[in-house]
Structure 1
């Protein structure tokens, strides 16, 4: 039996958080740094359990994205991963359905940064690639993030977006997008 649970970081015990971190380390084949984990904390986690084992994780955290002279409240998706032996069973779709429900109920738009391998999952769910230039609001001012241009996807929620316009994310350590 498979079950998807939703919980805020504050409501997850240390063992569940450690299991989620271990799952993401495995899902990303060791390419999941401490700052990547930190980016997904403080929001709502979607957890897929199968026969008592944690097999999938995603989280959505609040970020501010500057667009068209406004600071939009964005539900930013982080740490989407499924344990390798459990892929291809719809767990990624279940995780995304859960975080999308949170985004649609609480934010002006959803946003995420994706790898090339995962773009099909997001596109199939209605996520749209950002076509314009990306930037980050750094401690030194607004800086271009050209290396992230092809990987930013958005899920509009009641906000009309010109996806060819500039999009600026708030600052954080590690990968800004």
Structure 2
């Protein structure tokens, strides 16, 4: 006999997450990204929309889309920035990551000039298969002390152009600067 789990996908704003859901989402990220997950990393996931995947009553997937400003070619681009993409180890390979990203990309297309994220090496094939492109130019962060290069991020920032080049021209070899925040800049 095959056991079938009820799978639900939801997209909710942080304001609509109850305390219990927030707690299990944070616990999932702690589990998937241990020991690197920090309080600042969790903070970066808040204030936007969350894509959640449940198998029955167990949260198995989380991804968030938050608004940031990225500066490129003298223009501040309203950017949907993807954070906290995680699927529980035993639930990977079932399309949950793709389902969450599809929802966040849908929101980004309707609300932002650009979508962006910082990738790990193992996630690069997943994002490129979805049409995300590696930013080839130098990356920087706009800090309280001025613009500071972030060379360790070069090649690991991916963008999903959401409009035609005529509306938001992108030079993938040009500089891309993110707004400042506590913890990791990208």
Task: Please tell me the TM-score bracket, short chain as reference.
Answer: over 0.9
Q: How does 1:138-153 map to 2 (within 5 A)?
A: 138-153=143-158
Q: Which residue of 1 aligns with 2:104?
A: 99
Q: 2:26 aligns with which of 21, 26, 31?
A: 21
TM-score (normalizing by structure 1): 0.98
Q: Which residue of 2 aligns with 1:116?
A: 121
Structure 2 Cα separation of the partners of residues 132 and 43 of structure 1: 27
SS where residue 12 of structure 2 aligns? strand
Q: Report deviation, 1:150.
A: 1.6
SS where residue 154 of structure 2 aligns? helix
Q: How many residues align?
A: 177
Matched, 1:88 2:93: yes
Q: Which residue of 1 aligns with 2:14?
A: 9
TM-score (normalizing by structure 2): 0.93
Runs of 5+ in structure 1 lacking a partner? none
Q: How does 1:57-76 map to 2 (within 5 A)?
A: 57-76=62-81
Cα RMSD between the aligned structures?
0.7
Q: How does 1:39-50 map to 2 (within 5 A)?
A: 39-50=44-55
Q: Which has the larger radius of gyration?
A: 2
Q: Which residue of 2 aligns with 1:166?
A: 175
Structure 2 Cα separation of the partners of residues 128 and 121 of structure 1: 11
Q: After superposition, what is the alpha-carbon deviation per residue over 1:34-77, rounded to whole angstroms, capped at 9, x for unaligned?
A: 10000010000000011121100000000000011110000000
Q: Report deviation, 1:164.
A: 0.4
Q: Report deviation, 1:160.
A: 3.1
Q: Report deviation, 1:163.
A: 0.5
Q: After superposition, what is the alpha-carbon deviation per residue over 1:77-125, rounded to whole angstroms, capped at 9, x for unaligned?
A: 0000001111111111011001101100100000000110111111010
Following superposition, which runs of at least 4 residues in structure 1 exceed 6 angstroms of deviation?
Answer: none
SS where residue 155 of structure 1 aligns? strand
Q: After superposition, what is the alpha-carbon deviation per residue over 1:5-52, rounded to whole angstroms, capped at 9, x for unaligned?
A: 000000000000000000011111332111000001000000001112
Structure 1 Cα separation of the partners of residues 46 and 122 of structure 2: 24
